[in-house]
Amino acid sequence: MKYVENAKVVSQKEISPGIFDLRLQTENIAKEAVPGQFVSVYTNDRSRLLPRPISICGADAGSGILRLVYRVTGKGTGTEEFSLAGEGAAFRVEGPLGNGYSLDVPKNETVMLVGGGIGIPPLLETAKRLEAECRIVLGYRDSSLFLKEEFEQYGDVYIATEDGSAGIKGNVLDVIRQTDIKADRIYSCGPKPMLRALAAYAEEKNIPCHVSMEERMACGIGACLACVCKSREKDAHTNVHNKRICKEGPVFLSTEVEL
pLDDT at residue 237, as a whole number: 61
pLDDT at residue 46, as a whole number: 81
pLDDT at residue 230, as a whole number: 61
Rounded mean pLDDT of 92-99? 95
pLDDT at residue 257, as a whole number: 79
- In angstroms, the CA 88 to CA 71 distance is 21
- In angstroms, the CA 117 to CA 223 distance is 29
Q: Which pTM was predicted?
A: 0.91
**CB contact at 8 A, 39 and 96:** yes
- Residue-wise pLDDT for 139-158, tens only, equals 999 999 999 999 999 999 99
- Residue-wise pLDDT for 183-222, tens only, equals 999 999 999 999 999 999 999 999 999 999 875 655 556 5
Q: Give residue 179's identity as a one-letter amino acid code.
A: T
pLDDT at residue 255, as a whole number: 87
| Domains present along the chain, CATH in parentheses | 3-97 (2.40.30.10), 101-212 (3.40.50.80), 215-253+255-259 (2.10.240.10)
**CA of 230: how far to CAs of 36, 64, 101, 165, in Å?**
20, 36, 20, 37
- Residue-wise pLDDT for 230-256, tens only, equals 665 665 666 666 777 766 758 988 888
Residue 160 reports pLDDT greater than 80:
yes
What is the signed CA dihedral for 214, 217, 222, 225, rounded to 10 degrees? Answer: -100
User: In the predicted model, what is the mean pLDDT of the chain?
Assistant: 91
